[in-house]
Amino acid sequence: MNFNNTLPVILSLIPLVFGAVWKLSNGKFTTHKSMGLVAIVVLAGGLVYMQSAFESEASMLLLASAILLSAFCAIISQDNTQEALATHASIMIVLGLSVGVLLNQVIVSRVFLCGLLGFIATSLNRKQHNTYRTKIIFLHISLAIIFSLGSAFVEETLQMFSGLFLAMTFLPLAPFHLPFVGTIKDAKGSLSSFWIIVWLIIGLAELNRIYSGLTTEMLFILSLLALISAVYASLAALGQRFNSLFVASATVAHVALIWGLLEVFPGFHKWGISFGITLAFVMGGISLAFSFIQKRYGWKTLGILPGLASPMPRLGVAMVFLVSFALFLPLFPIFSGLIDMPTIVNSNIEIGRISFLFLLVWLGGGWYFIQMLHQTAFGEARSDVPYSDLRLTEFVAVSALLLGAAYSGMIH
């Protein structure tokens, strides 16, 4: 194995080893936090070196950079608690496995993906293992592991369908969204935000791998599934009271745009990856902001703590910017897709269906995001709650995700 293939493995193992050791032993909070940040800096340096020295795929390096930024934000925003030590370990393990999926060659990448899927399965809430929904999730993850391993050794047609199954799992499209929703629901603190970003990034990488092999018939079926998924997820978000499930449902609704627009705009790597990263950062930012409130007050239900913008101005500013960005998310793939669109448009494309999907996601998002903002940031603050605004590191973490979303959506 030459150095070009060895370096990505080494980079992936650095945070993975840290996380595994921390899972098995206790340590000091400051040590974990410092070592975690050093590992992220080392990985960032490795990505820069790979971009300059190797002929690495630019899109994969961009996706890996997005995961590094989200890991940085998740770590710096941690408080010195016993729960934070477990969160640090999980972040490092997921970081190592996900970077391994993105940077390595096919067979090695699939091994890391199986490890990531296995970690997802072991992280699910043990108390809910006997529920019907959780059994479906375990079955789904088991199939994903089988498809992941098998795709490296089967013929091209089976590779395509295996990759499509994985892509619909990690770019969650109903009815393949249950593992995503279950993982976000069970994740604690900033780990929920990190999972959202990692999940979508892996999905973008999988879709990018199989995109060129999607046939016209496949694209048509995917566009119909996207429409169904958008309707279902938008209604779920409107009726959702728990903050983690609200963000998960809103994410599934917006991901439907990626699948629906595949039939319209060619060159997924030109518009889809940048939009997917923007979407991941915005939803991850909203989830991260919610985690700060939950950490302070144990708040999980929307509407219990209204009027946060007044006693917590930093949080108020962050929420207003995040929701404002979220309201205009559907416009980003439209603009970037139109720029790269050929002059002659395929006359067979169902413009009406795609327009309906766009309006559904946009208008639905406008409704439930504004409703969520009024339930949290605005209104009269409660007099019986000792409010404390975001710490500087927390505000920096949310701001970094916002800046990342702006760069990916408007500049890149």
Per-residue confidence (pLDDT) for residue 69, from 0 to 100:
96
DSSP-derived letter for residue 349 is S
Nearest CA to 367 among 246, 272, 226? Answer: 246
Distance CA 166, CA 177 (A): 11
Q: What is the pTM of this model?
A: 0.92
Nearest CA to 176 among 202, 234, 137? Answer: 137
Q: Are the beta carbons of 185 and 123 closer than 8 angstroms? A: no
Distance CA 407, CA 274 (A): 9
Distance CA 82, CA 37 (A): 19
Q: Helix, strand, or coil here: 250?
A: helix
**Mean pLDDT per 10-residue segment, the chain (412 residues):** 76 92 81 89 91 76 94 89 82 95 89 94 71 88 91 77 94 93 88 95 94 89 91 88 89 93 82 92 93 82 75 86 87 67 48 75 82 79 77 92 89 60
Distance CA 238, CA 249 (A): 9
Left if phi > 0, otherwise alpha if psi is -120 to 50, otherwise beta: which for 3? Answer: alpha
Per-residue confidence (pLDDT) for residue 367, from 0 to 100:
83
Per-residue confidence (pLDDT) for residue 338, from 0 to 100:
57
Tokens standing for residue 84: 């934070």
